[in-house]
Amino acid sequence: MDKSIRPARLLLIVTLIIASMSAAQATTPEQPDQVAARNEAAVRDAFANWSAGQGSVFDLLSPDITWTIHGSGPVAGTYNGVEAFLQRGAVPLTSRLARPLVPNLHAVWAVGNTVIIRFDAASTTTGGHPYRNQYVWIFRMENGAVVEAEAFLDLVAYDKVVAENQPRQP
């Protein structure tokens, strides 16, 4: 056998090994801490934009989200799909606010696909009264989108705004 072929063969083998290692690394699933960091960053960015009046955390919602508002009262329950949640869960409140809610983010905890957010939000109602509430939201995320959400808030304060204020005129 010709000795000049051996280095070429060796180079080919080394190249194939490196290529297969690169392909294996490309298909390695993300580690839970990487997923958590990415999800936390997406939520923090969405809240920063919301606070600055440049978007909403609702921009992260999957069209097929399942959103549950815990507690008792007319708005409590589970909403299937982003439109159902926005129209029946969010709009009854937000349409009775003179200006958008401004969130004040207190903490974000992320583990894998779960992100827990604690924040306050405030605005003024269409009747000129202050509205303030405290929230805890628990998100389950997939590929950067919220696919399941649970919300905990003072539903008495929410219901009072809805009952005592007229919706804004379009």
What pLDDT shows up at residue 124? 97
| pLDDT score of 15 | 66
CA dist 143 to 15, 68, 112, 113, Å? 33, 20, 12, 9
Whether 81 and 65 have beta carbons less than 8 Å apart is answered as yes
Q: For residue 162, give Cα distances in angstroms to 20, 58, 59, 77.
A: 60, 20, 24, 16
- What average pLDDT does the segment 68-79 reach? 96
For 74-94, what is each residue's pLDDT tens digit?
999 999 999 999 999 999 999
Residue 110: half-sphere exposure toward Cβ, Cα within 13 Å: 20
Predicted local confidence at residue 27, as pLDDT: 53
- Of 28 and 128, the one with more pLDDT: 128
Rounded Cα distance, 135 and 113, in Å? 20
Per residue in 16-42, pLDDT tens?
676 666 555 555 677 878 999 999 999
Residue whose structure tokens are 């029946």 = 88
Under 8 Å between Cβ of 111 and 32: yes
- What's the pTM value of the predicted model, to 2 decimals? 0.81
Strands (E), the chain: 61-69, 77-80, 102-111, 114-124, 130-142, 145-153
Q: Quote the pLDDT of residue 97.
A: 97
Residue 62 near residue 80 (C-beta atoms within 8 A): no
Q: How confident is the model at residue 7 (pLDDT cuts 50, 70, 90)?
A: low
